[in-house]
Every structure is written in structure tokens, then in C-alpha cells.
């Protein structure tokens, strides 16, 4: 290639097919000991995703294209992305400006954390059996909305609900607005700049969902470099990771309707939360990773 400073320029001329690029990328990812926690589970999965995206190919159709030969510009484009992933350890979602929750795709960039909430799984079943009549849900809140992904999923789960999506970050709300508009939901999702419930005085909801910051100080200090591209305000929650959750538990009762439900994701803090609030009858919801991560409380249980 003409540009000798191009990442992997020495090897690029020998990488003729997508199969060649895939093998090369997996080797480089493993060699660099990258961390995979933003949607992909392995070097292979992430390399395949990045290569297919850079070549404008369907994300779920690798096999038919493995032996296709690439043009020089295609190789350069693909290797630029692979090089950034290795050299700067940028999460794949920030490189592609795309993140997936189930069948839903969202725009993301460094103004928001990469979506990865277990609550998305629960919304695919419309919070059954805890919400017996999803069509009767009229108002919901996505607290700490970030990219707006859970607000969009709520709009699809509860088709008659008006949704508030609140975040303390003006920049995050800009990203959320883009996703809300991309899904044509601006008439149902209201974006609110709010430090948790501070700007929601007097508003009550049938369902409040929150994936708040929950990383404790020790874990923040030990985060892999990939996570350091994400906004700290969306991750860090005090010394023990429960600062935001405490505030939610104190204030949620004032924002739930009589039969309202509170659903909150808390990371790996179940034992600490139960020790601190022994009188709260938490219901721990089953997800693909087990039941320690998301709790449910009814309004009368908060009282």
C-alpha cells in the first residue's frame, strides 16, 4: 500500500480474502489481550462483527463471504478499524456507532455507555408475570436513560404508555434524542434533564425502570481500558457502588402509582444491598446471567 504508516501495512498485501482478514484480526485481538464486555464474548465474535460492519455486509451472514477477495480500499478500511480496536482499545460499539439489544439497534458514541442491560431481556417478555396486563400500562419512567435504549424498548413493550426518559447528562440526552427520533417515538417518549427524580416532582408512573451507575470505587480503579472510554458519570456510584440505588429506594415511592413497580439493575451488589435494607422484600428477577442482578419492588413494599 502507498501509505506505509497505515496499520498493519506490511501484512495487508497478503490478506486477500475476508477469511484472511478474520484470521489475522482474531490473532491480533488475542495477542493484545483485549477485553470483551460490550456486546461480544470472544475475539472471533468481535472480529467478525467489525469486519462485516466495515464491509457493509449483513451482521449475521459471514459464511457466504469468507472467500470473497477484497479490494485495496476495503482492506484499508477494515484494517483501520481493527487497528483502532487494538491500539486504542476502543469498544467495538464506538467504532461502528452501533449497539444492539436483542433485535433493536441503537446509535451510540462516547457520550453514553454502551447498552448492556439485563432489563432489556425482561422487557422482551413485557415484565411478565409482574405486569399482568401490559396494554393497561399508561406511564413509565426510564431513570438514567443514557442512550435511551430502555425507553425505546418500553415503548414497544407497553404500547399505550407515555414514557419519561431522564438523565443527568445533557450529552447523553442528545444521543437519546437521536435514538428516539430514529424509532419515530418522539410523540411518546419525553426526554428530561434530571438528577434522578429531582426534575420529576409530582409525576407518578405505573412502572419505573432504572439501570443506574453501580460501579464501586475499587472496581473503577481496576477497570479494563475499554471501559475508560465510557463516561465515568454513567458508571461510578460512590465507594460501594450503591449511592444511586439508595437514592432511588428512598425516593421512588413518591413517583409510583398505587400498584406501581420499581425495577432496578445493580451489578454484583445483591448481598450488600440486602444487608443494608433487611426489611425490604426484594424480588430478584431471573435473567440469562442468573438472578443476582435485577430486583423488583412494589410500591406498598417500599412503604
pLDDT tier for residue 293 given thresholds of 50, 70 and 90: very high
Q: What is the pLDDT of residue 2?
A: 44
Residue 252 and residue 262 in contact, taking contact as beta carbons nearer than 8 Å: yes
Cell match 413518591: residue? 254
Cell match 478474520: residue? 22
What is the per-residue pLDDT across 100-142, written as a single tens digit (0 to 9) for each?
A: 998 999 999 999 999 999 999 999 999 999 999 999 999 999 9
Q: What is the pLDDT of residue 6?
A: 63
What is the per-residue pLDDT across 250-259, written as a single tens digit (0 to 9) for each?
A: 999 999 999 9
CA distance 144 to 89: 26
Which ranges constitute the DSSP H helices of 33-169? 43-54, 72-87, 92-96, 119-124, 149-157
CATH architecture of the domain 111-302 equals 3-Layer(aba) Sandwich (3.40)
- Give the three cell numbers for residue 167: 438523565
> Who's near 2: CB < 8 A, 6+ residues apart?
none
Residue 55 and residue 70 in contact, taking contact as beta carbons nearer than 8 Å: yes
- C-beta neighbour count of 136 within 10 angstroms: 12
Backbone angles phi, psi at 92, to 5 degrees: -55, -40
What is the per-residue pLDDT across 3-24, written as a single tens digit (0 to 9) for each?
A: 455 678 777 788 999 999 999 9
Break the chain into its structural domains and give their ranges: 9-96, 111-302
> Who's near 227: CB < 8 A, 6+ residues apart?
35, 37, 235
> Who's near 224: CB < 8 A, 6+ residues apart?
35, 37, 89
CA distance 257 to 242: 25
Q: What is the pLDDT of residue 5?
A: 58
Backbone angles phi, psi at 297, to 5 degrees: -135, 145
β-strands 205-210, 256-265 pairing: parallel
- Give the three cell numbers for residue 136: 393497561
What is the per-residue pLDDT across 52-64, written as a single tens digit (0 to 9) for each?
A: 999 999 988 999 9
Buried b (16+ CB within 10 A) or exposed e, 20-55: bbbebbbebbeeeebebebbbeebbebbbbbbbbbb
Q: Is 215 helix (H, G, I), strand (E, B) or coil?
A: strand
What is the per-residue pLDDT across 168-212, written as a single tens digit (0 to 9) for each?
A: 999 999 999 999 999 999 999 999 999 999 999 999 999 999 999
Amino acid at each position: 500500500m502507498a501509505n506505509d504508516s497505515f496499520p498493519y501495512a506490511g501484512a495487508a498485501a497478503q490478506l486477500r480474502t475476508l477469511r484472511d482478514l478474520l484470521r489475522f484480526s482474531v490473532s491480533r485481538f488475542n495477542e493484545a489481550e483485549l477485553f470483551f464486555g460490550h456486546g461480544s464474548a470472544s475475539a472471533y465474535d468481535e472480529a467478525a462483527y467489525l469486519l462485516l460492519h466495515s464491509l457493509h455486509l449483513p451482521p449475521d451472514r459471514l459464511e457466504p463471504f469468507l472467500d470473497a477477495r477484497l479490494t485495496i480500499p476495503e482492506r484499508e478500511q477494515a484494517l483501520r478499524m481493527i487497528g483502532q480496536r487494538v491500539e486504542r482499545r476502543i469498544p467495538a460499539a464506538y467504532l461502528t456507532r452501533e449497539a444492539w439489544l436483542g433485535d433493536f439497534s441503537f446509535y451510540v458514541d462516547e457520550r453514553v455507555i454502551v447498552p448492556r442491560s439485563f432489563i432489556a431481556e425482561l422487557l422482551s417478555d413485557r415484565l411478565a408475570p409482574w405486569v399482568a396486563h401490559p396494554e393497561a400500562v399508561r406511564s413509565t419512567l426510564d431513570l438514567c436513560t443514557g442512550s435511551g435504549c430502555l425507553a425505546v424498548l418500553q415503548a414497544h413493550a407497553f404500547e399505550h404508555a407515555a414514557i419519561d426518559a431522564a438523565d443527568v447528562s445533557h450529552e447523553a440526552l442528545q444521543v437519546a434524542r437521536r435514538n428516539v427520533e430514529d424509532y419515530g417515538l418522539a410523540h411518546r417518549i419525553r426526554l428530561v434533564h434530571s438528577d434522578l427524580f429531582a426534575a420529576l416532582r409530582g409525576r407518578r408512573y405505573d412502572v419505573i425502570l432504572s439501570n443506574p451507575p453501580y460501579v464501586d470505587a475499587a472496581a473503577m480503579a481496576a477497570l479494563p481500558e475499554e471501559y475508560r472510554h465510557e463516561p465515568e458519570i454513567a458508571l461510578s456510584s460512590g465507594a460501594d457502588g450503591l449511592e444511586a440505588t439508595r437514592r432511588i429506594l428512598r425516593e421512588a415511592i413518591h413517583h409510583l402509582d398505587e400498584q406501581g413497580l420499581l425495577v432496578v439493575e445493580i451489578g454484583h451488589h445483591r448481598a450488600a444491598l440486602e444487608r443494608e435494607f433487611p426489611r425490604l422484600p426484594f424480588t430478584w428477577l431471573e435473567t440469562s446471567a442468573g438472578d443476582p442482578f435485577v430486583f423488583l419492588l412494589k410500591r406498598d413494599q417500599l412503604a
